[in-house]
Amino acid sequence: MPLSEFIHSSLVLSTGLILGMRHAFDRDHIAAVTHFISLEPDPVKSAWFGCRWALGHAVTVLFLGSLILLLHLKLEPSLQRYAELAVGITLIGLGVWRLLLLALERRHEHAHRHRQTRHTHMHSHAPGREHVHRMAPTLVGVVHGASGTAEVFVLLPITLISAPWLAYAYLALFSLGCAATMSAYGYVAGRFYRRANQTGQRIYQALVILTSVSGLGLGAIWILKNL
């Protein structure tokens, strides 16, 4: 490989990795993953939530990128608009879902505190229990992968790459950078939520409410911007 071609390829791949890392910090991404992190305030599990979200995101990005590379299709603006609306609806759904789970957690605590003699109990939704659907973070990542920011950072740049192998390598490194950053965020946020949970249930619950309300507000703004 000539030196100039090597330098060009290295710059393209480095750009994909850096843009993927930057893309992970989009507001809608952080808001969605944080809902799952608040369910399992454990750094390792939280990092795994981030990784699974990034897997779903990568599936959509690779699929849309393949449509452009192999079939030379051009995505219609209406598709991007519907994708953004789906993101807003997803954020609102996650916020409502998390508030409902919090209500069940508090109800469960109340039942244990005042009905000690009961032998049958409702399903616990307390932090640390295995009650999260395993595919949920990945499915949310699939929705986010189709939103407009993916086109800016991924789908437009690959149209400027002539070699198919380089374009797919770009997509792979973009997805890898996104996954690594979101996993790192999940680990750090998991430590924060674990500390809040250890400090006191009221502090933890207030933090969950703040997270959920923020997600609801962001989802509403997302929808209004794309109506």
Q: Give tens-digit pLDDT for 22-48.
A: 999 999 999 999 999 998 889 999 999
Decide if pLDDT at 87 tops 60.
yes
- Per-residue pLDDT tens over the stretch 161-173: 778 889 899 999 9
Contact 209, 39 (CB under 8 A): no
Give the CA diameter of the chain. 78
pLDDT band at 122 (very low <50, low <70, confident <90, very high): very low
Contact 99, 91 (CB under 8 A): no
Could you tell me the pTM of the whole model? 0.85
In b/e form, how buried is each residue of 44-57, taking b as 16+ CB within 10 angstroms?
ebbbbbbbbbbbbb
- Better-scored residue on pLDDT, 182 or 122: 182
Residue 8 has pLDDT above 60, yes or no: yes
Contact 30, 178 (CB under 8 A): no
d(CA 21, CA 97): 28
For the ranges 53-57, 121-125, 204-208, the lowest mean pLDDT is seen at 121-125
Cβ atoms of 177 and 18 within 8 Å: the answer is yes
Cα angle 54, 209, 41; round to 5? 50
In this predicted structure, what is the pLDDT of residue 147? Answer: 83
pLDDT of residue 6: 83
Lowest mean pLDDT among 8-22, 54-68, 130-144, 190-204: 130-144
- Of 37, 15, 13, nearest in space to 197 by CA: 37
**pLDDT exceeds 70 at position 133:** no
CA dihedral sign of residues 155, 161, 162, 163: negative
| More reliable by pLDDT, 70 or 86 | 86
Q: For the chain, what is the mean pLDDT? A: 84
